[in-house]
């Protein structure tokens, strides 16, 4: 074996050579495993309204996955930062990206195409790089690897060498160079960029780590998708931990494997659960406050479309997640991922409530800034459901542009006036509303399925009280209660249960009419859902035994955007 390794890295070479001996041309141990839905507590409570974004959080009866054994040792032998603490779970996203990189066609299928792989921090991008390395060694493919700012590895038929980054080697011309950006490595070293057949960098979304070399090398951007809850549970299980609480934490704090592992491990070590939750809440609240103070920072999450320094690290990644853009079909709910563009995702209702609570405290001018930012951004037109909901809230809160609503089928049209009179998102505040004052109320809990906001419009603000023949005032103040449902999906759950929950807190309003408004981004979708809800609610009843019939007017609306 030709040894070109620097003597300064003798220990690193010895460890890497052990890996080469075990992996070059050898099939690594892969074990098929099964995770049962019954192993995860809370799976039965998973309802669509619990999720505000496009994160696939469904828990199935069974989940089959593959595990590569011994990968924790591989990471140690390569001195990988944040080395794996367990065997590697092969995520669906790993298979998708591997297939794209090794294909003979497609945007990533060209052998010489350089690629930047980015996405949400803590979802396993570095782990994918090691997975790709092992695949190439098994296939006897020359591969360079950089995990350190001082040196890189070359694995090929001649063995393995550790080369200082300032030196180039002719052997690189046959190599795919795999580079992980971390606290030690910002971007690929010059030797790899100049000599390697192909460079593939895994990196955080912070554009400073890749924008310059990507621009010069015309590298393709690939945004990794978020893992689903079963994949996260499998990762937790392979770490030797109890995965039963995975859904509970992921449905609150989102699909970040690193975060979920950290929470569970800290609990095992004796940290108080309330303390952990308080820390996560405070981090999310701080990020929400920063976003609401300066809404333009949301543009940092639209990777691939805006090339500017980012505020991602200062905001943290525990509130807004990054995922690939989803391009929805004009027919049905089918969609495909646009990997070269990213969108911000608020993956859970809990996190969306934190953002909305912070936003409720902002001035009216900030609401207008939010609306203008969301409505004019080209990617927003096919954005995540959470963004559409947030756009609806912003529109209603501005208060000076009526929302056009219509009844499907009979052509009835009404303009309803938004209200900038926010009331706190608590049940107590809703209990104290008055028929004489218009209001807008946002639920801060998940017990109003199918309802995202409640708009109360009082005629006391436009009509004068009537009087009787004797001259006494007649109590005729009337309030219209509009339960708003924001959705971009062609199918959505009935708001009936949410209306029943709402009814319990508005019984004190004597003279009222109940309405449902489904607010979408497409007229065909709005009409279709309104027609469905008319049928769902035609026999709507409330009360302990659901014996009191209450008429409900169903309306459709398309949210105006500039």
- For 209-245, write each residue's pLDDT tens digit: 777 888 887 888 899 999 999 999 999 999 999 999 9
Residue 447 has pLDDT above 80, yes or no: no
Pinpoint the alpha helices (H) of 37-124: 71-77, 92-102
When pLDDT is cut at 50, 70 and 90, the band that residue 269 belongs to is very high
Work out the percent of the chain whose per-residue pLDDT is above 90: 46
Residues 401 and 416: their CA atoms lie apart, in Å, by 9
**Domain-wise residue ranges, the chain:** 7-29+69-223, 399-558
* pLDDT per position as a tens digit, 273-304: 999 999 999 999 988 888 888 877 777 776 66
CB-based contacts of 340, cutoff 8 Å, min separation 6: 107, 220, 221, 222, 223, 304
Whether pTM exceeds 0.95: no
Instruction: Classify domain 7-29+69-223 by CATH number.
Output: 3.40.50
Residue 329 has pLDDT above 70, yes or no: no
Asked if 130 contacts 80 with a C-beta cutoff of 8 angstroms, the reply is yes
The residue among 59, 114, 109, 117 whose CA lies nearest residue 93 is: 117
When pLDDT is cut at 50, 70 and 90, the band that residue 108 belongs to is confident
Residues 20 and 547: their CA atoms lie apart, in Å, by 73
Asked if 267 contacts 276 with a C-beta cutoff of 8 angstroms, the reply is yes
């Amino acid at each position: 074996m030709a040894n070109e390794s620097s003597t300064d890295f003798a220990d690193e070479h010895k460890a890497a050579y052990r890996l080469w001996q075990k992996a070059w041309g050898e099939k690594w141990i892969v074990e098929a495993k099964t995770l049962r839905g019954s192993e995860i507590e809370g799976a039965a409570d998973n309802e669509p309204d619990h999720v505000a974004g496009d994160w696939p959080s469904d828990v199935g009866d069974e989940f089959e996955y593959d595990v590569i054994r011994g990968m924790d040792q591989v990471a140690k032998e390569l001195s990988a930062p944040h080395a794996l603490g367990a065997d590697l779970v092969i995520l669906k996203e790993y298979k998708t990206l591997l297939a794209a990189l090794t294909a003979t066609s497609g945007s990533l299928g060209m052998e010489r195409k350089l690629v930047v792989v980015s996405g949400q921090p803590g979802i396993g991008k570095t782990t994918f790089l090691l997975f790709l390395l092992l695949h190439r060694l098994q296939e006897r493919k020359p591969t360079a690897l950089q995990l350190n700012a001082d040196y890189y590895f070359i694995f090929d038929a001649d063995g393995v060498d550790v080369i200082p980054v300032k030196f180039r080697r002719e052997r690189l011309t046959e190599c795919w160079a795999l580079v992980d950006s971390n606290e030690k490595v910002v971007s690929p070293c010059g030797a790899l960029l100049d000599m390697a057949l192909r460079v593939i960098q895994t990196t955080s979304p912070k554009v400073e780590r890749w924008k310059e070399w990507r621009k010069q090398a015309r590298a393709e951007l690939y945004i990794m998708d978020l893992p689903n809850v079963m994949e996260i549970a499998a990762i937790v299980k392979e770490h030797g931990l109890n995965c039963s609480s995975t859904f509970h934490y992921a449905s609150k704090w989102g699909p970040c494997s690193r975060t979920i592992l950290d929470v569970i491990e800290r609990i095992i070590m004796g940290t108080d659960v309330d303390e952990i939750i308080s820390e996560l809440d405070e981090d999310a609240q701080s990020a929400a406050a920063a976003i609401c103070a300066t809404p333009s920072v949301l543009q940092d999450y639209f990777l691939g479309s805006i090339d500017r320094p980012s505020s991602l690290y200062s905001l943290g990644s525990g509130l807004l997640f990054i995922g690939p853009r989803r391009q929805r079909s004009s027919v049905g709910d089918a969609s495909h991922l646009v990997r070269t563009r990213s969108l911000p995702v608020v993956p859970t209702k809990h996190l969306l409530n934190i953002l909305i609570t912070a936003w409720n405290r902002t001035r009216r001018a900030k609401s207008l800034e939010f609306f203008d930012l969301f409505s004019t951004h080209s990617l927003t037109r096919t954005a995540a459901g959470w963004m559409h909901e947030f756009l609806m809230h912003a529109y209603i809160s501005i208060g000076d542009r009526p929302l056009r609503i219509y009844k499907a089928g009979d052509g009835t049209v009404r303009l309803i006036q938004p209200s900038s009179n926010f009331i706190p998102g608590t049940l107590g505040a809703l209990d104290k509303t008055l028929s004489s004052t218009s209001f807008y109320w946002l639920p801060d809990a998940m017990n109003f399925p199918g309802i995202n906001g409640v708009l109360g419009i009082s005629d006391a603000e436009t009509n004068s009280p009537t009087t009787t023949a004797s001259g006494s005032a007649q109590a005729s103040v009337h309030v219209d209660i509009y339960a708003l449902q924001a959705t971009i999906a062609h199918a959505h759950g009935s708001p009936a249960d949410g209306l029943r929950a709402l009814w319990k807190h508005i019984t004190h309003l004597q003279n009222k009419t109940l309405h449902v408004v489904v607010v979408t981004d497409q007229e065909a979708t709005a009409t279709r859902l309104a027609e469905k809800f008319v049928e769902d609610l035609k026999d709507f009843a409330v009360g302990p035994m659901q014996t009191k019939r209450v008429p409900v007017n169903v309306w459709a609306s398309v949210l105006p955007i500039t």
